[in-house]
């Protein structure tokens, strides 16, 4: 997954897909506490809705957007049966 984070980070010029902030690319493990600007991998169509782990369905998002987006996405799925896609800002 670290390699995918690097590729997506480079593809997007280091900017978060949602808020456009400059993200920090660093090596971290599962137990590490993430900063809001750390790069994470986000699925545009969540796996639970049939999204796949393919480059066209993956974007780099800062941890802050990814963390908040998870709650927003659950609400969208529960309410509308779909997920927001695209940049929030």
Q: In this predicted model, what pLDDT tens digit does every residue of 39-66 receive, in sequence order?
A: 999 988 888 778 899 989 899 999 988 8
Report the C-alpha gap between 22 and 61 in whole angstroms.
10
Neighbours of 34 (CB within 10 A): 16
Predicted TM-score of the model (pTM): 0.72
- In order of start, what are the domains of the chain with their CATH numbers? 2-80 (1.10.30)
Across 55-59, 70-74, 83-87, which has the greatest mean pLDDT? 55-59
């Amino acid at each position: 997954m670290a390699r995918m984070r690097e590729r997506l980070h480079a593809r997007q010029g280091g900017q978060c897909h949602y808020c456009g902030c400059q993200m920090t690319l660093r090596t971290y493990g599962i137990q590490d506490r993430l900063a809001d600007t750390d790069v994470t991998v986000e699925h545009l169509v969540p796996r639970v809705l049939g999204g796949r782990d393919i480059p066209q369905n993956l974007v780099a998002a800062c941890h802050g957007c990814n963390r908040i987006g998870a709650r927003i996405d659950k609400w969208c799925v529960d309410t509308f049966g779909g997920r927001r896609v695209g940049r929030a800002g």
